[in-house]
């Protein structure tokens, strides 16, 4: 696999706390979670192996690494869900396709996306030198059936003024 540039300061090689895991690039976390799951699966212990038994104690660092990494990865993926919803819709997804892809109800999808898009719109108002993407937000709002949002644009964004970043 291609090595990814790490934008995070001094990432630990084996994070065993949530704070450490947050300092690891999310794609590195995902790879590490896969490696740990494979190792834990290959060395699975019977349920009747008691706590404190040396074989169980030997797994503690990996169990903590797995827990910290999964939690940090979960939080990262949660933060990008709204952006992925947005990109799926402007790429042609229907509201039904988005709900099926996320496993969320249409109300949940709408709430996640609306919270994110409100923040994006506010950012664009606060920083007017940023490209403005009002048409894209309006289009997604229309597709998702957002009723409290701004007026929907008549056509999908084309990447020009008001198009997707």
What pLDDT sits at residue 141? 97
What pLDDT sits at residue 5? 57
Position 161 confidence tier, pLDDT thresholds 50, 70, 90: very low
What gap in Å lies between CA 88 and CA 127, rounded to an integer? 25
Half-sphere exposure of 2 (CA within 13 A, CB side): 2
What gap in Å lies between CA 134 and CA 152, rounded to an integer? 9
> 14: which residues sit within 8 A by CB, 6+ positions away?
61, 65
Q: What is the pLDDT of residues 48-98, one digit of tens each?
A: 788 888 888 888 888 899 999 999 999 999 889 999 999 999 999 999 999
What gap in Å lies between CA 81 and CA 162, rounded to an integer? 21
Secondary structure, 3-state, 56-108: HHCCHHHHHHHHHHHHHHHHHHHHHHHHHHHHHHHCCCCHHHHHHHHCCCHHH
* Domain boundaries, given as residue ranges, for the chain: 1-81, 91-165
Position 10 confidence tier, pLDDT thresholds 50, 70, 90: low
Q: Are 157 and 133 in contact (CB under 8 A)?
A: yes
Joined together, the tokens standing for residue 107 give 């109300």
What pLDDT sits at residue 156? 36
Does this model's pTM top 0.85? My answer is no
DSSP state of 127: -
């Amino acid at each position: 696999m291609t090595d990814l540039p790490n934008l995070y300061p001094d990432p630990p090689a084996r994070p065993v706390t949530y704070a450490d895991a947050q300092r690891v690039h999310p794609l590195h976390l995902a790879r590490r979670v896969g490696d740990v799951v494979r190792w834990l699966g290959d060395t699975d212990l019977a349920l009747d192996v008691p706590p404190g038994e040396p074989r169980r104690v030997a797994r503690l660092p990996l169990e903590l690494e797995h827990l910290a990494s999964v939690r940090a990865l979960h939080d990262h993926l949660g933060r990008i869900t709204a952006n992925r919803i947005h990109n799926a819709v402007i790429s042609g997804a229907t509201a039904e396709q988005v709900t099926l892809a996320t496993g969320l109800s249409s109300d949940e999808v709408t709430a996640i996306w609306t919270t994110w898009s409100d923040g994006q719109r506010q950012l664009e108002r606060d920083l007017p030198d940023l490209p403005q993407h009002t048409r894209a937000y309006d289009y997604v709002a229309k597709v998702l059936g957002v009723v409290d949002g701004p007026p929907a644009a008549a056509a999908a964004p084309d990447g020009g003024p008001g198009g997707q970043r």
